[in-house]
Amino acid sequence: MSARSDSTPWSQWTVAVTGINARPENPGPGCAVARCLSEASGFRGRVVGLGYETLDAGLYHPDDCDGGYLLPYPAAGREALMERLEEILRHDHINAIIPSLDAELPNFIALQGVLAKRGVRMLLPGRPELRRRDKDRLPELCAQAKVATPRVRPISDARFFERCTRAEEGSWTYPLVVKGVFYDAYVVQNPTEAAYRFGQIAQTWGYPVLAQAHIAGEEVNLTALGDGSGALIGPVMMRKQALTDKGKAWAGVAIDDSDLLAVGERLMHALKWQGPLELELLRDAEGVLHLIEINPRFPAWIYLSHGVGRNLPVALLGLMQGVAVADLPLAAPRPGVTFIRHARELIVRMEEIVSVSMNGATLPRCDPIAPRLRLIA
Amino acid sequence: MIGIASANPNAGSTFNGTTLPRLNDLMLSSDGHAFDPKTGRSYRLNPTGLLALQLAQDGQSEQEVISQLAARYAQHPAVVTVSTETFFSQIKRYLP
C-alpha cells in the first residue's frame, strides 16, 4: 500500500485510536481522544476505534468512532499486532494511529517504521525516553530536571512490608503507596493491607511491584505534546475535584499554575519527549510539587483540552503532518473551565455485538473511502 | 463583617503589613464567586468581601479600602480596620 497520507491534509485523515474501553471508574483515554477529533470544527476525517474486548464501548458509539476493530492484547507481541494491523489496513486505509494505553507503547514504537512505510503515521517517544519515565526511574529523571519526587523501590518479596515498621528499614514507614509497573496504585496503612495489594497487583500486572513513599497533598495534572525538541507544546493543566474509587478524576477544573508549568517545561526539556504525555503531581502543604507519574499518552480527561480551546489530539495530527508549532490551533489558557464525567448506557444491537465478536470488526456504518461530512459548530 | 462565606482562595498587594503577590490573579465575578486559577479553588465572598477585593485589585491602598468601606456601610473606620485586617489575613492563607 502506498503512503497516500503524504498528500492528504490531516483534517481528512482516517485516524485510529486505541484505549476505547469506557469503564466508569477507570475509562481508557481513547473515547475522549476520539471525541476531541469528532467535535473539532476543522476535522472532516474518520475516527476508527481499536479495542481489545467485545464490550469496549468506543467500538459502538457513533458519536465517537465511525467503526472499529479488535486488536490482540499487547502481551501477544509486536508480530501479532502487525499481523492484525495488516489485516485491518486491507479493509480500511488508516492515516494515523494514536495509541492511548501504556502497555501497548513498546509494540507500537517497534512498529513505527514499518507502519510509516504503509502511510500510517504516529508520533511516539523512542524506547530510551519511554524507559526514562518508568516509575522506578523517576528519581533519576527528576534529579536531572530538579523536580521533587517521592522515593520508589521495586519489591519482589512481600516480606518487605513487614520490615517497614522496623528501624532497620530506614524511613520506609506507613502510609506508603503500592503500585504496579503499568497501572494501579493503592495507599496502604499497614503490612497486612500492603501484602494484600502486593499480591493483587503482582497477579494482575506481574513483577516487580513498586513501593513509593506517600505524599499527602492535592493532585494536579498536566497534559501536553512534545516534538522531540524538548519544548512543552499546548500544556493543559487540571486539578482533580472529585475522584473515583481508583483515584481517577470524576470532575476537574482547568488551572493556570506557573509553578506547574515550569515543572512541566523542565521535565520536557530533560526528556525530549515526542508525542502526548500526562504528568501527575501532588502539591504538598508547603506548595511543593512532587512528580508521581509520567503517562506516555493522553489522559482520560483529554476532552477538557477541547473544552479550553487547546484540542491536543487535533494538534497532534498537525504535528504529525509537520505543521509548525506556532500554527497549531492552541488558545490561551482558560482556567475555571470544568469537566464532569458521567456514565451512560449505550444500546447495541445484537448484530453489532456478533460482528465484533465473530469478525473482530464492527458492521460498516458508512463508506470507508468517503470522509463523513460533519456538522461544524 | 467582611468574609469568605465558604471554601477557600489565594492573592498580591500589601495589607496589614502582609504582601499578597497573587491578589490580582483572583478571578472575581459580580455575584461574589472568586476563582484562583493557580490552585483551581473556588470561594464564595459576601458583598463586603467582594467589594474589598475589587478595591484592592483596582490598586487601592489598605487605608483607601478601609475609608471606602467605612463610607459605604456607614461604619466607624476602627471597626472596618479590624474586619479588613482579619479578612486579608484570611486571604493570605488561601493564596500560597
Confidence category of residue B92, pLDDT binned at 50, 70, 90: confident
pLDDT computed for residue A317 by the predictor: 97
Place of cell 502506498: A2
CA-CA distance, A36 to A208, in Å (whole number)?
35
Q: Is A241 an interface residue toward B (CB < 8 Å)? A: yes
Would you call A54 helix, strand, or coil by DSSP?
coil
**How crowded is residue A151: how many other Cβ atoms within 10 Å of its Cβ?**
13
Tell me which chain B residue has its CA closest to the CA of residue A258. B38
Answer whether residue A377 shows pLDDT above 80: no
pLDDT computed for residue A369 by the predictor: 43
Contact between chains at A335 and B37 (C-beta distance less than 8 A):
yes
C-alpha cell at B75: 461604619
pLDDT computed for residue A243 by the predictor: 87
CA-CA distance, A154 to A136, in Å (whole number)?
7
Would you call A225 helix, strand, or coil by DSSP?
strand
Taking contacts as CB-CB distances below 8 angstroms, the residues of chain B near A257 are: 37-39
Taking contacts as CB-CB distances below 8 angstroms, the residues of chain B near A255 are: 37-40
Q: Is B37 an interface residue toward A (CB < 8 Å)? A: yes
Percent pLDDT > 70 in chain A is 94
Question: What is the rounded average pLDDT of the residues A100-120?
Answer: 96
* DSSP structural state of residue A148: B
Q: Indicate the residue of B27, B39, B96 with minimum beta-carbon distance to A239.
A: B39
* Mean pLDDT of all residues belonging to chain B: 85
CA atoms within 13 A on the CB side of A21: 13
Contact between chains at A257 and B96 (C-beta distance less than 8 A):
no
Taking contacts as CB-CB distances below 8 angstroms, the residues of chain A near B27 are: 335-336
- Write the pLDDT tens digit of every residue in B10-28: 335 677 666 788 899 999 9
pLDDT computed for residue A246 by the predictor: 75
- The helix (run of H) or strand (run of E) holding residue B33 is strand B33-36
Contact between chains at A287 and B40 (C-beta distance less than 8 A):
no
> Between the ranges A38-42, A153-157, A252-256, A360-364, where is the mean pLDDT highest?
A252-256
- Write the pLDDT tens digit of every residue in B44-58: 999 999 999 999 999
Q: Is A11 an interface residue toward B (CB < 8 Å)? A: no
The residue that leads in pLDDT, A12 or B9, is: A12
- Write the pLDDT tens digit of every residue in A13-71: 999 999 999 888 889 999 999 999 999 988 999 999 999 999 999 999 988 899 999 99
CA-CA distance, A157 to A207, in Å (whole number)?
10
Would you call B35 helix, strand, or coil by DSSP?
strand
- Write the pLDDT tens digit of every residue in A153-178: 999 888 888 888 765 556 788 999 99
Tell me which chain A residue has its CA closest to the CA of residue B40. A255
* Mean pLDDT of all residues belonging to chain A: 91
- Write the pLDDT tens digit of every residue in A112-150: 999 999 999 999 999 999 999 999 999 999 999 999 999
Q: Is B96 an interface residue toward A (CB < 8 Å)? A: yes
Contact between chains at A254 and B40 (C-beta distance less than 8 A):
yes
Residue A164's nearest CA partner among A196, A192, A187, A191 is A191
Amino acid identity at A107: N
pLDDT computed for residue B96 by the predictor: 73
Interface of A with B in 242-281 (CB under 8 A): 252-259
